[in-house]
DNA sequence: GAGCATTTGTGCGTATGTATG
DNA sequence: ACATACATACGCACAAATGCT
């Protein structure tokens, strides 16, 4: 550290850590040394290191988690929302590897919210598929998908065989479907959601509720996706 | 409370509180009695009251805040994102009263992120307008708007006089503009943001970054809006 | 900043009612 | 009649967030 360079020490430290990150010495997702370690290495007070880390966090190069440490920011997935929003297509388009893990697939009566979204009466039978969406093996979303059972008979069996909602819908008589509206909110995760997404409980979720319709405009699916906010960015082109 | 009605106590309590809400005795935004008070009034344990309140929160009838109390949910603003996204128009269309409060309007050099979004070189002069957007007198968003100074001369003066970005842009030679892309993320608020939005620090923000272009497709504005997540819902129609 | 009161959040142990086999 | 499982309800203690002095 050069104390007479006319450049504040914290800037020099920030540049040094940034060099480690862009140079690849500190890969995305990895943990950086603790603030105390950095302070010792650079021969400065921990306050000075903190000033540098704050700058890096402001520029989204690192993510600081109280009690855990500082981590190099991972690449964020651009999740484009449009008429033909398909998880696997969106992920594949960015040269990443989509996968999924089924949580449950059941038949159940519709509660108020689901009934309103699907346009059926409360208590009518709906299929629910819950899954975790993953990119390159890392979980990025927990999603619940509701379908009017009457409209897509045998969907659950088809899904169990095919492992894809789009393919299962095709077998159940829905060759294609389109996203009509998406409503986006944010909230804190439940302990279960945090566990499934392997993220700390104090980081928020992006919640996107979508209504999908078939070619004739009939509602075919109501989906609720919860994204780990640091790993996904919803993109709207208009 | 009827302990032999065959209906769980917590359900009876939830129904009672719900009646107060839909009946108007507890208006939107008002604080409900503390859990201890309700437990005493109904002659049950606080856990039982909590079970009832959890149900009401799950149904979005109330919002529970640690250390503060429980509050009747206010109406959420549907904020529609499309090519012509204008704060005041969106609010007015829902029969609500838009207003705003200027935080600062300054000229400054572009940092990396702003320069990249506006498509200018780092360090070029940009105008920054920061404001709080309000609906019916309640803050719902803090937004920062960046403009390439060269492209919209005199914008700050015009904004100071007119109090509207759309009107100020018109005077500065941009008769109309359109939103090209929006990127949506979520994060926790800084203490300052929480204060400006008058929301607790443990509730997340919805962050929408937008690029606006003029009729010829040239980038005219880069906007970053931070919405109080409980008061706004972003809506995408496709 | 420290200290304090208020309020919600969490965990654990226990008891009871209800439905099922 | 009995065993089991599950949801309901209670009691107590402490953690965590907020707001105030």
DSSP B19-41: HHHHTTSS-TTPBPPPHHHHHHH
Greatest mean pLDDT among A37-46, A56-65, A197-206, B147-156: B147-156
Q: Does B154 lie in the same domain as B129? A: yes
Model pLDDT, residue A16: 82
Residue B1 lies in a domain: no
Residue B2 lies in a domain: no
| d(CA B78, nearest CA chain A) in Å | 8
Q: Does B49 lie in the same domain as B154? A: no
The predicted-structure confidence for B116-127, as pLDDT tens digits, reads as follows 999 999 999 999
Model pLDDT, residue A2: 64
Model pLDDT, residue A26: 79
The predicted-structure confidence for A99-121, as pLDDT tens digits, reads as follows 999 988 988 888 888 999 999 99
What is the pLDDT confidence band of residue A67, given thresholds at 50, 70 and 90? low
List all residues 6 or more positions away from A58 whose beta carbon is below 8 Å from its beta carbon.
none
Consecutive H or E run containing A103: strand A98-109
Q: Does A96 lie in the same domain as A38? A: no
> Which of the pair, A73 or A82, is modelled with greater confidence?
A82
- For chain B, the average pLDDT equals 92
Instruction: Using the 3D structure, point to which of B22, B55, B72 is the last residue of a domain.
Output: B72
Identify the CATH number of the domain in which residue A180 sits: 3.40.1410.10
Nearest nucleotide by C1' position to the B50 CA atom: C8
Instruction: Using the 3D structure, point to which of B72, B87, B118 is the last residue of a domain.
Output: B72
Model pLDDT, residue B7: 83
Give the number of A-B residue pairs with CB atoms closer than 8 Å: 92
Q: Do B229 and A202 touch (CB under 8 A)?
A: no
Residue B115 lies in a domain: yes
Q: Residue B231: its chain A contacts at CB < 8 A?
A: none
- Quote the percentage of chain A above a pLDDT of 90: 51
Q: Residue B113: its chain A contacts at CB < 8 A?
A: 59
| d(CA B236, nearest CA chain A) in Å | 5
- Asked if B87 contacts B140 with a C-beta cutoff of 8 angstroms, the reply is no
Q: Are strands A77-81 and A232-237 parallel, antiparallel or unpaired?
A: parallel
Q: Does A153 lie in the same domain as A110? A: yes
Q: Residue A203: its chain B contacts at CB < 8 A?
A: 187-188
Q: Does B16 lie in the same domain as B127? A: no
The predicted-structure confidence for B35-94, as pLDDT tens digits, reads as follows 999 999 999 999 999 999 999 998 889 999 999 999 999 989 999 999 999 999 999 999
Q: Give the residue among B67, B71, B64 at the shortest CA–CA distance from B31.
A: B71
> Which of the pair, A25 or A91, is modelled with greater confidence?
A91
Identify the CATH number of the domain in which residue A64 sits: 1.10.10.10
Residue A4 lies in a domain: no
Residue B214 lies in a domain: yes
Nearest nucleotide by C1' position to the B36 CA atom: C7
Q: How confident is the model over B100-116, as a mean pLDDT? A: 93
Q: How confident is the model over A119-146, as a mean pLDDT? A: 92
Q: Do A236 and B182 touch (CB under 8 A)?
A: yes
Consecutive H or E run containing A173: none
Residue A193 lies in a domain: yes
Q: Does B230 lie in the same domain as B131? A: yes
Q: Does A151 lie in the same domain as A137? A: yes
Residue A210 CB neighbour total at 10 angstroms = 22
Chain D: nucleotides below 7 Å from protein CB are 7-12, 16-19
Q: Does A87 lie in the same domain as A60? A: no
Residue A143 lies in a domain: yes
Residue A219 lies in a domain: yes
Cα B188 to its chain centre, rounded Å, is 13
Tokens of A197: 């997404």
Model pLDDT, residue A1: 64
**CA-to-C1' distance for A200 and D16, Å?**
17
**CA-to-C1' distance for A215 and C9, Å?**
47
Model pLDDT, residue B149: 96
Q: Which of the residue ranges A88-92, A197-201, A209-213, B104-108 would you say has the lowest mean pLDDT? A: A197-201
Q: Does A86 lie in the same domain as A54? A: no
Cα–Cα distance between B219 and B150 in angstroms, integer?
A: 12
Residue A4 reports pLDDT greater than 70: no
Q: What's phi and psi for A36, nearest 5 deg?
A: -65, -40
Q: Does A64 lie in the same domain as A149? A: no
Q: Does B83 lie in the same domain as B39? A: no
Instruction: Using the 3D structure, point to which of B42, B72, B102 is the last residue of a domain.
Output: B72
Q: Do B187 and A181 touch (CB under 8 A)?
A: no
Q: Residue A59: its chain B contacts at CB < 8 A?
A: 112-113
Look up the domain containing A49 and give its range: 9-72
Q: Does B142 lie in the same domain as B47? A: no
What is the pLDDT confidence band of residue B112, given thresholds at 50, 70 and 90? confident
In the 3-class helix/strand/coil scheme, how is B79-113 assigned residue by residue?
Answer: EEECCCCCHHHHHHHCCCCEEEEEEEEEEEECCHH
Specify the pTM: 0.86
Q: Confirm or reject contact between A2 and chain B (CB < 8 A).
A: no
Q: Are strands B232-237 and A177-187 parallel, antiparallel or unpaired?
A: antiparallel
Contact map slice: B 106-135 vs A, CB within 8 A:
112-113
Domain tally for chain B? 2
């Amino acid at each position: 550290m050069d104390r007479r360079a006319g450049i504040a020490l914290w800037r020099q430290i920030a540049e040094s850590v940034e060099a480690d990150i862009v140079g690849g010495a500190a890969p995305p997702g990895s943990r950086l040394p603790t603030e105390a370690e950095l302070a010792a290495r650079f021969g400065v007070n921990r306050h000075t290191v903190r000033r540098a880390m704050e700058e890096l966090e402001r520029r989204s190069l690192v993510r600081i988690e109280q009690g855990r440490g500082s981590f190099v920011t991972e690449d964020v997935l651009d999740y484009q929302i449009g008429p033909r929003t398909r998880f696997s297509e969106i992920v594949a388009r960015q040269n990443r590897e989509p996968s999924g893990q089924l949580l449950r697939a059941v038949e159940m009566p519709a509660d108020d919210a689901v009934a309103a979204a699907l346009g059926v009466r409360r208590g009518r039978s709906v299929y629910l598929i819950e899954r975790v969406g993953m990119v390159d093996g890392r979980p990025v979303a927990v999603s619940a998908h509701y379908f009017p059972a009457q409209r897509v008979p045998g969907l659950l069996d088809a899904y169990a065989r095919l492992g894809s909602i789009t393919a299962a819908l095709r077998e159940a008589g829905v060759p294609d479907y389109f996203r009509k509206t998406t409503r986006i909110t944010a909230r804190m995760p439940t302990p279960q959601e945090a566990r499934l997404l392997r993220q700390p409980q104090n980081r928020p979720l992006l919640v996107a509720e979508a209504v999908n319709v078939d070619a004739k405009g009939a509602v075919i699916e109501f989906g609720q996706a919860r994204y780990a906010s640091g790993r996904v960015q919803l993109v709207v082109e208009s």
